[in-house]
Structure 1
């Protein structure tokens, strides 16, 4: 049998062992240490922002973001239905009500529908967007940059400004993606809205095993995020705490991994871009299939590759996943739509159409940054030679 090709695994070929060993030898292994500060500063430099706050996970960063947005039980938060559920669960942690929005052809939130929702389903009262049916205050929107693509942030910012929404960018899949055209040319995913969040889970473009990072253009919010993430200590010596805080600080061991991974980020993106283009050339010859493109106004990080099934009579995502699995190739379908999940079936979903269609038609192909040309050829060979 041919060698197993995983979907997305870490690429540990830099200074990871050296830096982690250094942290171990210095016995700084927990939520204090030089590598945490270094990782925060180097991420901030990379993203061209003033500061960054390291967290235990992307989910922790999203939870903190909603806390900073003052989301309560009386509030509604606009979220996508086509995303990983971790983008939405923190709304429920705070007792808020998620409002599910459809995707556009980038797989990111449909900003035209978001505008229509604000215009037709809500009214602006005293600089607060009030949902007419529930009378809840629509306080924030969580915009996810899906698979390293980027949402239409020009429209998102205009909508957020007009309706006084806190704009949270879930850039957990999009570290390195940036605009090359338009008003935000040169700006990275996660640095355009009020708050941005990144993830360093094991399958992300760089990893710390777990871990995440939060950035914001407001230094007051950044300071408050760091305060809340370290148990809201007012006096660390005497254990005096001013608020209910969280154990959300990244560990020094995680950060040591992150520093080494960040050194290789641009190399990883180059490899992923080359592999994407190689896939694209091969899939272009297959009738009824295509590789989804990225937004033309951006330079993506090419995190995930989405095989799109045009001809559902010839192919099904289940058959493609099964056939590749039989040939020792790991793939996955796109996420189950969140508004259809058991914990969210009673929440409001606004005009969901495209997300349902994409859910039926997408299979994610192997995309690790250590994927070889031979690996890509093996995937293409199975797709090309299989009898469907």
Structure 2
């Protein structure tokens, strides 16, 4: 089958999944529950900022959904990652092991701490950090010192943190990553921004590391326009995160006293109200999106084109579905044809080591990351009413 004929069939199939629409966006929110009711309730209460009943309810719902002990409502996912690293002990001039195949927010958050990213390759199937690549890098380049910490032999910097990401909501091999981090005394923080509702061996993403972070941006499975959450099972860590997220203000009836540098990171009650209404519908969203993912998988299998899918033992939320093209030329042709014919598609992100801010960062060659960057395309994945 010629590529033009193939692409025409793909466009037709995608449009059939979203009937009645001339243009099919990549991912749009769906508001079919109590969104208006809760937002109006917040407005009527006048508590629209970071103090309000819906902020507390949001944190309770996140704990119920993920099974974690503590959740802290944050203004966005990037800030949730930043705060998670701070409370987990990431310091300026440390190194953070992460992926080059990720959204810019991951590395921006690392930069906010004053630490330096080091890029580890991903597995082709999960598109998340590869345990074998992580182990190989550490065995070759790292050493434990008498203080108990791990250091990079090439740079002399402490490797304090590992920050993998569950790409497009598909869980990576997080159990093996956690075991490697434990053996090297490296703190594991999960970038779970895209994976609300995803599980690995029955555990929700974000709960395997010392802390996890979620995003509720406008394009996520659950949205409140902008929002985030930090989750952890460590009560002291959660207490510290909440304190720092509210400008490190010490509680007092009238005095304004702040005992350390804090951040204006607390989620407003207005956003939390919208998030609560969305979270109530999460099982409905996940079922709907899984049905779409399975339709895509069956269709593209018939076309001889692989798709990004969960591995055995994990369950993905299928936030964004992805198809893998033959090469860079085929990827670009596919992107041009679909976008010109009313179907919004997007390539995977530019690898972080190719960006000017991070092009001097150490990496392990990134063979799989580069292979995927030349081939992966996201296709429309919205909830279908």
TM-score computed with the length of structure 2 as normaliser? 0.92
What residue is the counterpart of 2:327 in the other structure?
A: 312
What residue is the counterpart of 2:376 in the other structure?
A: 362
108, 111, 127: which one aligns with 1:92: 111
What residue is the counterpart of 2:130 in the other structure?
A: 110
8 Å contact kept, 2:215–2:229: yes
Alpha-carbon distance between aligned partners in 2 of 1:325 and 1:135, rounded to the nearest angstrom: 47
Verify: 1:120 aligned to 2:140, yes or no.
yes
What residue is the counterpart of 2:341 in the other structure?
A: 327
TM-score computed with the length of structure 1 as normaliser? 0.91
More deviation in 118-127 or 217-226? 118-127
Q: How many residues align?
A: 363
8 Å contact kept, 2:128–2:166: yes
8 Å contact kept, 1:235–1:241: no
What residue is the counterpart of 2:9 in the other structure?
A: none
What residue is the counterpart of 1:156 in the other structure?
A: 177
Alpha-carbon distance between aligned partners in 2 of 1:99 and 1:137, rounded to the nearest angstrom: 12
Describe the SS at the equivalent of 1:139: strand
Given the superposition, is the C-alpha separation of residues 2 and 54 from structure 1 closer, same or farther in structure 2, using an over 3 Å criterion? closer
161, 169, 175: which one aligns with 2:190: 169
What residue is the counterpart of 1:60 in the other structure?
A: 79
Verify: 1:301 aligned to 2:317, yes or no.
yes
Alpha-carbon distance between aligned partners in 1 of 2:92 and 2:271, rounded to the nearest angstrom: 34
Matches within 5 A, 1:234-383: 234-236=250-252, 237-287=254-304, 289-309=305-325, 311-312=326-327, 316-370=330-384
Output the aligned Cα RMSD. 1.4
More deviation in 233-242 or 26-35? 233-242
* Distance apart, 1:235 and its partner CA: 3.7
- Cα-to-partner distance string for 1:356-388 (whole Å, 9 max, x where unaligned): 000000110000112x7xxxxxxxxxxxxxxxx
What residue is the counterpart of 2:226 in the other structure?
A: 210
* Distance apart, 1:292 and its partner CA: 2.2
* Distance apart, 1:293 and its partner CA: 2.2
Alpha-carbon distance between aligned partners in 1 of 2:153 and 2:198, rounded to the nearest angstrom: 36
* Distance apart, 1:73 and its partner CA: 2.5
- Cα-to-partner distance string for 1:198-248 (whole Å, 9 max, x where unaligned): 000011110010000001111000000000000001145211000010000
Verify: 1:228 aligned to 2:244, yes or no.
yes
153, 157, 174: which one aligns with 1:136: 157
8 Å contact kept, 1:2–1:327: no
* Distance apart, 1:312 and its partner CA: 3.1
Alpha-carbon distance between aligned partners in 1 of 2:136 and 2:337, rounded to the nearest angstrom: 42
18, 22, 44: which one aligns with 1:3: 22
Q: Which runs of 5+ in 1 are unaligned?
A: 180-184, 373-388
Alpha-carbon distance between aligned partners in 2 of 1:15 and 1:195, rounded to the nearest angstrom: 30
* Distance apart, 1:74 and its partner CA: 2.9
8 Å contact kept, 1:202–1:209: yes
Alpha-carbon distance between aligned partners in 1 of 2:78 and 2:286, rounded to the nearest angstrom: 24
What residue is the counterpart of 2:88 in the other structure?
A: 69
Describe the SS at the equivalent of 1:108: coil
* Distance apart, 1:328 and its partner CA: 1.0
Alpha-carbon distance between aligned partners in 1 of 2:170 and 2:356, rounded to the nearest angstrom: 28
* Distance apart, 1:2 and its partner CA: 5.6
Alpha-carbon distance between aligned partners in 2 of 1:48 and 1:235, rounded to the nearest angstrom: 29
- Cα-to-partner distance string for 1:116-157 (whole Å, 9 max, x where unaligned): 111110111121101001110000000101111111112111
